[in-house]
Chain A
Amino acid sequence: MPRQCEICHEARAVLKRPKTGQRICQACFFRVFETEVHNTITSSQLFRPGDRVGIGASGGKDSTVLAYVMKLLNERYNYGLSLFLLSVDEGISGYRDDSLETVKRNKEQYGLPLMIVSYEQLYGWSMDSIVEAVGRKNNCTFCGVFRRQALDRGALLLDLDHIVTGHNADDLAETILMNIFRGDIPRLTRCTSIATKGDGYIVRSKPFKYAYEKEIVMYAYLRRLDYFSTECTYSPNAYRGYARVFLKDLEALRPSTILDIIHTGERLQVAGDVVLPEASVCEKCGYISSNRVCKACVLLEGLERGLPKMGIGRVTAAAASAGEDEAERQSIRPRKPVEQVHFAELAERAARMRSERRACETSSCAGTGCAGPQQCAGTACTESQCTAAAQTTTHHDPLGK
């Protein structure tokens, strides 16, 4: 006998919801999944109308579903956001080049502007050439550190207010467990917040914070979304692997565990007398860093000087060069060094772009129509102009397209 959906009691149940174990129909699944993401966004007040939001898109399942759902919710609930796809090209042949093709197709499918920033262009090194230099071990350190900065640089190039990433509940629960196992108190308290302003320039958030990985896959499958599913060709993170296996075991025992771990993580509070590292700014590139020079600059310097172990673990420049053989140092292909743009300059450029765009908006505001003071807040548009213009119904595109 076909089973009825436990939510609408009308349609036939086609799936068992991983989060709750309820047997529900496809329409209800879409509805609850989207509503939960919407609830996450509204309850933590992630966006303001008019925000320019970049979606960190890798072409994988999480970011593809994120792009789809963000576009859908933005239209359904009138968030008033301008959405962009923002991709990082690490330069891993056989993996990233293929997944970027998916992102390019997504760009057409969703009609969203796309920007790709590459390691090659930003740092002068692609991941393939880094692996050639450092070997297969530890290369994930380079990739992770560089990606974080690359996204921020891309966001400043587009003058975004906000980046959303496809981190899901499973990722977050793993991170919480890992930080407990490793005793990383600063990260333990930071990792659960939905939005971080860590870099000092752009807010970063994860609207899928409470969405189960399995449900994201289900959603992509049922919506027939076009995504790319291959693991990175370089080695996976070993320590995270432990946490992942453990989390999957826990989830099998009690499906609500993932949500429960996040609940726990959100309720932990570090004692007032524990000293947390202070954030400062890297003196070379202006990126946020807890040290004098940020990790990316240290790693990059190691690469340029032919000391790829520098900055990994507790190896300092002196220690790294001590054991190095001159011949070995030369074996790394010398590259044409790329001048990194300082973050302050990027921010300045972004501010300039913003004021130009606003000037353009204001003039169009007076002429054609503006939804109200909300849309041109902070610009030269006077209140009387706005109220007069609010009579007309036509919205103009804040992008000026």
Chain B
Amino acid sequence: MCDVDTPEHKQPLDTRLERKRVPGKCIKCKTAKPNVTIRGCLYCKPCFVSASIVKFRGALKKSNSRIDAQRRQQNGVSEPQRLMVALSGGPSSTAMLHLVVDYQQSVTQRSGDFVQPPYADIVVGHIDESALFDVAEGAVRSIADGRTFCEASLEDIFSASADRDVLLQIVRASMASEQQQQNGGGFCAQIIRNSDNNTPPRERLRQLFSALDSDTSRESLLDAIRTFLLVRLARAHHCSVLLLGDSATRIATRVVSLTSCGRGFSLPFEIAPESSWFDGVTMIRPMRDFIAKEVAFFNRWAGYTSVVVPTFTTGAPVHASIDRLSETFVVGLDRDFASTVSTVCRTVQKLEPRADALAACPCIVCGMPAEPDAQDWRSRLTVGQAAAPALSSAGFDISSHLCYSCQNILHFSESGDRGGLVLPGFCVERIRDHAVSRPSASSDAEQHEALRRQVEQFFLNSDDEDDDCE
């Protein structure tokens, strides 16, 4: 913990002995005039910057050692991995990129014996969201500072050659048939056929987002797509570790908004310090101990510039979406009840995924575990009554492949006018992958095979196109 580069601000070996504060002076060096208050402690500029570096490395090393231990258990050895830093260009991810590069250099530049660098290589991964928002061209690339810059665009989900997009029909509670109601209806979604490929991907992406009912749903879907693309990008560049720049403030906000969206089943995966839910890619959140204020001051004093990352609720009032509302609420509560942010973060770290979540099949939209009884739960508590049946027999029912929260998103979407919602091909791919990779118990094997055959039709090459259309 003591390998900070600037020797004049070295941390004392045993900080406990020097805990005594000098009133009106920096808590670390006890001599300089303080410049900032963080959680009731005063820091001068240089001490704050070096303390931030120490904190970041501490969090990263802790995560690394946990992952290493896991890896050793599985493979026996642990080699330095290739690392991808997810960079949106915002303050937190910018700080993270600089901090991790600085860490790598400080280890390799250490004179004397040969030291193995912590990572085989560090590359930057960025998702281009210009299809939905106005972003300054090249601004993010300049932050990457000459590092290998891997980029994917949001619309890529529709243009990837291998996957074919699918048309989804949503049947709402008031339209579902009696039988579906009894089978845990309330809401039903089915894939009807492959969609026609004549709309440009960018346009199709916009259509998908404009079909959703609220900015809350749009944010959730954007989150899901971004995660999917980042994981795919990391895999494509052989990076087994993906760094995400969620700060403590962001994590606390997400906990509240995920809770409010009904994502309790997958919550432990989505905010964990490290998570290996996606095969082959471990996500780490090394900025988890920084509150937003610390990130801002660190960037300012370390001289790093970030860009403004627009979202659906940029410049919008507080009540624009659940995420926006949660953010305002968390920040406000933290002001009135000090350390609410860190309390929330510590609380959720004591949660663990349930056993059935680890074995659950992934939601086809967000990729997170989908609880098997979500439909039942809902229909028991929102009783409606059946009316005319509206499901087509050729379709494939995906209701059980959606998590509770994504059911909400689709339930309220406007799929009527174009005859359905066009979902990207990765949705079907997820069902197939799950059916192939986890033919669990023998009793389930047949079911899995049947499932695989059912979705297989959506992957046929263009020559059978006519067959899958009704």
In chain A, positions 308-365 with a C-beta closer than 8 Å to chain B are none
**Contact in complex: B347, A252 (CB < 8 Å):** no
**Contact in complex: A32, B384 (CB < 8 Å):** yes
**Contact in complex: B259, A176 (CB < 8 Å):** yes
Is A141 part of the contact surface with B, judged by Cβ < 8 Å?
no
Q: Give the complex CA separation of A260 and B348 in angstroms.
A: 18
**Contact in complex: B216, A253 (CB < 8 Å):** yes
**Contact in complex: A259, B351 (CB < 8 Å):** no
Knowing A254-B322, A271-B352, the reply to whether A181 touches B333 (Cβ < 8 A) is yes
Knowing A252-B319, A253-B319, A269-B354, the reply to whether A35 touches B262 (Cβ < 8 A) is no
**Contact in complex: B350, A271 (CB < 8 Å):** yes
Segment among B204-212, B226-234, B374-382 that sits at the interface with chain A: B374-382
Knowing A32-B383, A36-B380, the reply to whether A268 touches B319 (Cβ < 8 A) is no
By a CB distance below 8 angstroms, the chain A residues around B352 are 269-272
**Contact in complex: A7, B384 (CB < 8 Å):** yes
**Contact in complex: A22, B259 (CB < 8 Å):** no
- The contact string, 1 if C-beta is below 8 Å from chain B, for chain A 87-116, is 000000000000000000000000000000
Is B101 part of the contact surface with A, judged by Cβ < 8 Å?
no
Segment among A54-62, A196-204, A242-250, A299-307 that sits at the interface with chain B: A242-250
Is B265 part of the contact surface with A, judged by Cβ < 8 Å?
yes
Segment among B5-13, B189-197, B242-250, B338-346 that sits at the interface with chain A: B338-346
Is A45 part of the contact surface with B, judged by Cβ < 8 Å?
no
**Contact in complex: A267, B371 (CB < 8 Å):** yes
Knowing A8-B385, A253-B216, the reply to whether A260 touches B260 (Cβ < 8 A) is yes
- Could you say which of A242, A263, A274 contacts B377, with CB atoms under 8 Å apart? A263
**Contact in complex: A40, B256 (CB < 8 Å):** no
- The contact string, 1 if C-beta is below 8 Å from chain B, for chain A 145-162, is 000000000000000000
**Contact in complex: A259, B381 (CB < 8 Å):** yes
**Contact in complex: A6, B354 (CB < 8 Å):** no
- Could you say which of A19, A35, A181, A266 contacts B343, with CB atoms under 8 Å apart? A181
Q: Give the complex CA separation of A43 and B381 in angstroms.
A: 11
Is A232 part of the contact surface with B, judged by Cβ < 8 Å?
no
Is A182 part of the contact surface with B, judged by Cβ < 8 Å?
yes
**Contact in complex: A185, B350 (CB < 8 Å):** yes
**Contact in complex: B384, A264 (CB < 8 Å):** no
Is B80 part of the contact surface with A, judged by Cβ < 8 Å?
no
**Contact in complex: A180, B264 (CB < 8 Å):** no
Nearest-neighbour CB distance to chain B for A26, whole angstroms, equals 15
Contact residues on B (Cβ < 8 Å of other chain), bracket: 35 or more
Is A210 part of the contact surface with B, judged by Cβ < 8 Å?
yes
**Contact in complex: A274, B383 (CB < 8 Å):** no
Q: Give the complex CA separation of A274 and B329 in angstroms.
A: 28
Is B267 part of the contact surface with A, judged by Cβ < 8 Å?
yes
Is B174 part of the contact surface with A, judged by Cβ < 8 Å?
yes
- Could you say which of A9, A239, A256, A268 contacts B351, with CB atoms under 8 Å apart? A268
Is A183 part of the contact surface with B, judged by Cβ < 8 Å?
yes
In chain A, positions 234-293 with a C-beta closer than 8 Å to chain B are 239, 242, 246, 249-250, 252-254, 256-257, 259-261, 263-272, 274
**Contact in complex: B351, A264 (CB < 8 Å):** no
Knowing A177-B259, A259-B381, the reply to whether A246 touches B174 (Cβ < 8 A) is no
Q: Is the interface of A mostly helix, strand, loop or mixed?
A: helix
**Residue from the set B260, B329, B380 with the largest chain A CB neighbour count within 10 Å:** B260
In chain B, positions 318-368 with a C-beta closer than 8 Å to chain A are 319, 321-322, 325, 329, 333, 336-337, 340, 343-344, 346-348, 350-354, 357
**Contact in complex: B382, A20 (CB < 8 Å):** yes
Is A39 part of the contact surface with B, judged by Cβ < 8 Å?
yes
Contact residues on A (Cβ < 8 Å of other chain), bracket: 35 or more
Q: Give the complex CA separation of A184 and B344 in angstroms.
A: 10
In chain A, positions 19-68 with a C-beta closer than 8 Å to chain B are 19-20, 22, 28, 31-32, 35-36, 39-40, 43
Is B423 part of the contact surface with A, judged by Cβ < 8 Å?
no
By a CB distance below 8 angstroms, the chain B residues around A188 are 347
Nearest-neighbour CB distance to chain B for A275, whole angstroms, equals 10
Nearest-neighbour CB distance to chain A for B351, whole angstroms, equals 6
Q: Identify the closest chain A residue to B255 (Cβ).
A: A180
In chain B, positions 26-72 with a C-beta closer than 8 Å to chain A are none
Nearest-neighbour CB distance to chain B for A266, whole angstroms, equals 7
**Contact in complex: A268, B267 (CB < 8 Å):** yes
Is B84 part of the contact surface with A, judged by Cβ < 8 Å?
no
By a CB distance below 8 angstroms, the chain A residues around B333 are 181, 242
How many contacting A-B pairs (Cβ < 8 A)?
132
**Contact in complex: A35, B383 (CB < 8 Å):** yes
Q: Identify the closest chain A residue to B332 (Cβ).
A: A242
- Could you say which of A183, A253, A254, A266 contacts B346, with CB atoms under 8 Å apart? A183
Q: Give the complex CA separation of A267 and B381 in angstroms.
A: 16
- Could you say which of B256, B265, B381, B382 contacts A180, with CB atoms under 8 Å apart? B256
Q: Identify the closest chain A residue to B262 (Cβ).
A: A260
Knowing A260-B261, A260-B262, A265-B264, the reply to whether A270 touches B382 (Cβ < 8 A) is no
Nearest-neighbour CB distance to chain B for A69, whole angstroms, equals 14
Q: Identify the closest chain B residue to A24 (Cβ).
A: B384
**Contact in complex: B381, A181 (CB < 8 Å):** no
By a CB distance below 8 angstroms, the chain A residues around B445 are none
Is B440 part of the contact surface with A, judged by Cβ < 8 Å?
no
**Contact in complex: B408, A181 (CB < 8 Å):** no
Q: Identify the closest chain B residue to A28 (Cβ).
A: B385
**Contact in complex: A254, B214 (CB < 8 Å):** yes
**Residue from the set A182, A210, A250 with the largest chain B CB neighbour count within 10 Å:** A250
By a CB distance below 8 angstroms, the chain A residues around B384 are 6-7, 20, 22, 32
Nearest-neighbour CB distance to chain B for A159, whole angstroms, equals 32
Nearest-neighbour CB distance to chain A for B416, whole angstroms, equals 16
By a CB distance below 8 angstroms, the chain A residues around B268 are 269
**Contact in complex: B262, A182 (CB < 8 Å):** no
Is B431 part of the contact surface with A, judged by Cβ < 8 Å?
no
- The contact string, 1 if C-beta is below 8 Å from chain A, for chain B 125-155, is 0000000000000000000000000000000
**Contact in complex: A266, B340 (CB < 8 Å):** no
By a CB distance below 8 angstroms, the chain B residues around A9 are 387
Q: Give the complex CA separation of A201 and B296 in angstroms.
A: 54
**Residue from the set A181, A252, A265 with the largest chain B CB neighbour count within 10 Å:** A181
- Could you say which of A19, A40, A183, A254 contacts B347, with CB atoms under 8 Å apart? A183
Nearest-neighbour CB distance to chain A for B301, whole angstroms, equals 31
**Contact in complex: A177, B350 (CB < 8 Å):** no
Q: Identify the closest chain B residue to A42 (Cβ).
A: B380
Knowing A7-B385, A36-B383, A185-B347, the reply to whether A267 touches B214 (Cβ < 8 A) is no
**Contact in complex: A7, B174 (CB < 8 Å):** yes
Knowing A253-B216, A267-B264, the reply to whether A180 touches B344 (Cβ < 8 A) is yes
By a CB distance below 8 angstroms, the chain B residues around A28 are 385
Closest 7 A-B residue pairs measured CB to CB?
A: A264-B264, A260-B262, A267-B264, A271-B352, A183-B343, A183-B347, A263-B262
Give 7 A-B pairs besides A36-B381, A39-B381, A249-B329 with Cβ atoms closer than 8 angstroms. Answer: A22-B384, A185-B350, A253-B322, A259-B378, A263-B377, A264-B267, A265-B264
What are 29 A-B residue pairs whose CB atoms fall within 8 Å in the complex? A7-B384, A19-B382, A20-B382, A32-B382, A39-B383, A183-B346, A183-B347, A185-B347, A185-B350, A188-B347, A246-B325, A249-B319, A250-B322, A252-B319, A253-B319, A254-B408, A256-B262, A257-B260, A257-B261, A259-B262, A260-B404, A263-B262, A264-B265, A265-B264, A267-B264, A267-B354, A268-B264, A269-B353, A272-B352
